[in-house]
Amino acid sequence: MIIFGLSPKSAQASPYQGYTYSYWGEDVKSPIAYLPSRTITGQELGIGPFTTPSDMFASSDGNLYILDSGNGRIVVLNSEWKAIRQIQDFDNNGKQDSFNKPEGIFVTGGGHIFVADTENRRVVVLDGNGTFIREIGAPKSEVLSDKFEYIPRKVIVDKAGRIYVVARGVFDGIIEFDSEGEFNGFIGTNPVQFDPVDLFWKTVSTKEQREKMIRFVPIEFNNADVDADGFIFTTTADKKTSVPVKRLNPSGIDVLRINGEWGPIGDLSRDRSAFIDIDVSDNGVYRTLDSTRGRVFTYNEDGNLLYVVGQLGNQLGTFKTPIAIESFGNRIFVLDRDLGMITEFTATKFGRLVNEANGLYSIGKHDDAAKLWEEVLKLDANYEMAYVGIGKSMLRQGEYKQAMKYLKLGNDREYYSKALTKYRREYMREYFGIYMTIAIALIVIVMAVRRGLRLRKGGMKQHAVSQGR
């Protein structure tokens, strides 16, 4: 009993461990950033169980929209988790219409609801009360082949009203519609990836054999989100790709910042993480949901891993089949498809500190951030981001030597080198005079000694000559 009492025990038990990855790619334990605070199912809401819910959306006013796919309805929860609305049927130009296994939902800032009505092959637009506005059918264009099948899975809308649809079996990228619902084209095509071994077999096999082989096709996107600047974050679930997360600018070019060796790829293990959803929150922070191990990886805008939350399992705070992730303020929501349940995670002290420090850090307030990073270090002395944050702040304040120490601990060679350059200059300015004096004095002494020796030798020679005479 005594031993048990003495053994260190976490303040709140958690079914998963907190960790991050060090610069060297080793997993380092870290405090838990988010703890499960509550869960909710359809029964608890009094509206009947959710049947294979497939997506949800946390809107800016704090409401949570759940797309209850199997029941073909949208459930709207307010921030107190009361069901304030259910949208099941709508009036489509005089006739009653409903959803058929919809998979994606998006709510604009103006309150319009976009639903990717998958089996009906269309995107439905409703207003906040569930009144039908319009529907957007399959894209029509000459560039699409006749066999093109339109199965929309996810939909997002940017600030300008452009609609982006992630569709199943589409390898050309994300389908873009303008605000009127006209097909614009594809953006962000993934490059074709193949195994060199497969390529070898393909080149040596006959034409008949080749036709039976799998074709090398680009990887399709499986989910997307849009950030405040209108950039589109996409995920691919393929375990072979080295860039499962992309940040596409309006012309479809990946502009995701990757600082460091690894980039946002989830767990650094042989069995790679497979991202199935992504959620962009403030200050460029984004969270990806991994279906391999049921974990939520949170990255900052530089692609540094901040913390990891969740796991597969059957306790509170673990999932069976996580399908969607959303966040609002300091809370994260994860939707479990098979359990029909939403789990809410709330930030711990550590999580709040990291979020806040990273927020200040990303808008360039390094000095304010440094104070918080120091708090973070008190909780986790292995948190490399914090060392880098403090180091950058010290670099600005002109404390170059200290900055070098912290940046080395945080393994940031680029900024370490900057600090070193400054420190070097400062050092030389201070000690140049002394070193130069010493050097000149040495030279003078050496010359004097040499001359003295020569004089002596010459004198002796003269002496010898005078003796000989």
Site residues, other proteins (CB under 8 A)? 24, 408, 413-414, 416-418, 420-421, 424
Read off the amino acid at residue 38: R
- Among 10, 25, 18, 58, which Cα is nearest to 306's? 18
Burial of residue 305, with CB atoms counted within 10 A of its CB: 0-12 exposed, 13-18 middle, 19 or more buried: buried
Residue 259: CB minimum distance to other proteins, A: 15
Residue 119: CB minimum distance to other proteins, A: 52
Which residues are CB-contacts of 219 (< 8 A; sequence separation ≥ 6)?
A: 171, 190, 193, 236, 238, 241
Which residues are CB-contacts of 137 (< 8 A; sequence separation ≥ 6)?
A: 121, 122, 150
Read off the amino acid at residue 455: L
Q: What is the rounded distance in angstroms from the CA atom of residue 65 to the CA atom of residue 48?
A: 16
Neighbours of 11 (CB within 10 A): 10
Strand order in the sheet with 83-87: 55-58, 64-68, 73-77, 83-87
Burial of residue 196, with CB atoms counted within 10 A of its CB: 0-12 exposed, 13-18 middle, 19 or more buried: exposed
Between residues 241 and 259, which has the closer beta carbon with respect to other proteins?
A: 259
Residue 264: CB minimum distance to other proteins, A: 23
Are 135 and 86 within 8 A, CB to CB? no
Between residues 193 and 417, which has the closer beta carbon with respect to other proteins?
A: 417
Residue 394: CB minimum distance to other proteins, A: 16
Q: What angle do CA 392, 398, 400 make, to 5 degrees?
A: 70
Residue 413: CB minimum distance to other proteins, A: 6
Between residues 98 and 382, which has the closer beta carbon with respect to other proteins?
A: 382
Residue 404: CB minimum distance to other proteins, A: 8
Between residues 421 and 462, which has the closer beta carbon with respect to other proteins?
A: 421
Between residues 44 and 426, which has the closer beta carbon with respect to other proteins?
A: 426
Structural element, H or E, at residue 156: strand 152-157
Write the DSSP symbol of residue 320: S
Residue 414: CB minimum distance to other proteins, A: 6
Residue 407: CB minimum distance to other proteins, A: 9
Are 367 and 397 within 8 A, CB to CB? yes
Are 306 and 273 within 8 A, CB to CB? no
Residue 418: CB minimum distance to other proteins, A: 7
Residue 324: CB minimum distance to other proteins, A: 38
Between residues 417 and 462, which has the closer beta carbon with respect to other proteins?
A: 417
Residue 450: CB minimum distance to other proteins, A: 22
Between residues 201 and 431, which has the closer beta carbon with respect to other proteins?
A: 431
Q: Residue 91 CA to chain centroid, in angstroms?
A: 40
Between residues 4 and 24, which has the closer beta carbon with respect to other proteins?
A: 24
Q: Look up tokens 């058929």; give the residue.
A: 100
Between residues 22 and 41, which has the closer beta carbon with respect to other proteins?
A: 22
Q: What is the rounded distance in angstroms from the CA atom of residue 58 to the CA atom of residue 345?
A: 14
Burial of residue 58, with CB atoms counted within 10 A of its CB: 0-12 exposed, 13-18 middle, 19 or more buried: buried
